Amino acid sequence: MPYGIDQWEKDMAEMEIRRWLSQIGQWAPEVEFDRRLPPDEPIPMGELSPAAIDRVLYEAVNGRIGCHADGLTYVVPIFYAYDGHYIYGHTGEGMKVAMMRANPNVCFEVDHVTTLTDWESVIAWGRFEELAGTAAEEATQYLINRLKPLMDDQTITPSLEHTADAGKRKVVVYRIALDRRTGRYEKRQG
């Protein structure tokens, strides 16, 4: 049976009741189980394989960088291109670049959501590296190739295309060398 809004509202109401029962010491979470699933049906959630993690990273073009410096944590959305090892991005001077220069160890998150019960997400850790010269030009070209199909005539094509030209605009081209990666998914049958 599809997991519809009625069931979701019922689950939310149940959760509120459980929270209240828990607060007054009348509910032990460890004896609870998901009653929507028959006991012999495998739980449709799990960990993505390394190949599936790679696929999610390749397919998406927007993700979130989590950075932390001087006691402040900052999560910021970006567009990117992935080549199997690195996340490539371009931006201007600002808070995220200042923070990543101060502490290059960052977290990167991407998700793909179809419905509330059909999604995949990847969380990875990596190191921010600022690019210059030929490396910046190649990264910019790679980004353009990846993002161009998603641009309309008015969007960021000019700024992206000028990024390799340091004389025109102060831009920062960077990559994040991904290290540890984890992936999870949920896929309930409709």
Ligand X SMILES: Cc1cc2nc3c(=O)[nH]c(=O)nc-3n(C[C@H](O)[C@H](O)[C@H](O)COP(=O)(O)OP(=O)(O)OC[C@H]3O[C@@H](n4cnc5c(N)ncnc54)[C@H](O)[C@@H]3O)c2cc1C
Instruction: Tell whether residue 63 is a contact of ligand X (CB under 6 A).
Output: no
Contact between residue 173 and residue 140 where contact means Cβ atoms under 8 Å apart: yes
Phi, psi at 94, each rounded to 5°:
170, -165
Q: How far is the CB of 181 from ligand X (least distance, A)?
A: 21
Beta strands in 21-71 (DSSP E): 45-47, 62-69
- What's the angle, vertex CA 51, arms to CA 56 and CA 108, rounded to 5? 45
Instruction: Tell whether residue 132 is a contact of ligand X (CB under 6 A).
Output: no
Instruction: Tell whether residue 12 is a contact of ligand X (CB under 6 A).
Output: no
Interface residue with ligand X among 48, 57, 82, 89 (CB under 6 A) is 89
Interface residue with ligand X among 27, 68, 91, 184 (CB under 6 A) is 91
The sign one gets for the Cα dihedral 131, 133, 135, 141 is positive
Interface residue with ligand X among 52, 78, 107, 166 (CB under 6 A) is 78
Nearest Cα residue to 77 out of 65, 69, 88, 89? 65
Instruction: Tell whether residue 4 is a contact of ligand X (CB under 6 A).
Output: no
With tokens 């190949």, the residue in question is 51
Instruction: Tell whether residue 174 is a contact of ligand X (CB under 6 A).
Output: no
Tell me the window of 22-30, 31-39, 89-97, 106-114 that interacts with ligand X (CB under 6 A): 89-97
Q: How far is the CB of 77 from ligand X (least distance, A)?
A: 4
- CA–CA distance, 76 with 176 (Å, rounded to integer): 14
Instruction: Tell whether residue 158 is a contact of ligand X (CB under 6 A).
Output: no
Contacts of 86 (CB under 8 A, 6+ apart): 175, 176, 177, 178
Tell me the window of 10-18, 52-60, 91-99, 119-127 that interacts with ligand X (CB under 6 A): 91-99
Residue whose C-beta lies closest to ligand X: 94
Q: Which residues here bind ligand X, judged by CB under 6 A? A: 62, 76-79, 89-92, 94-96
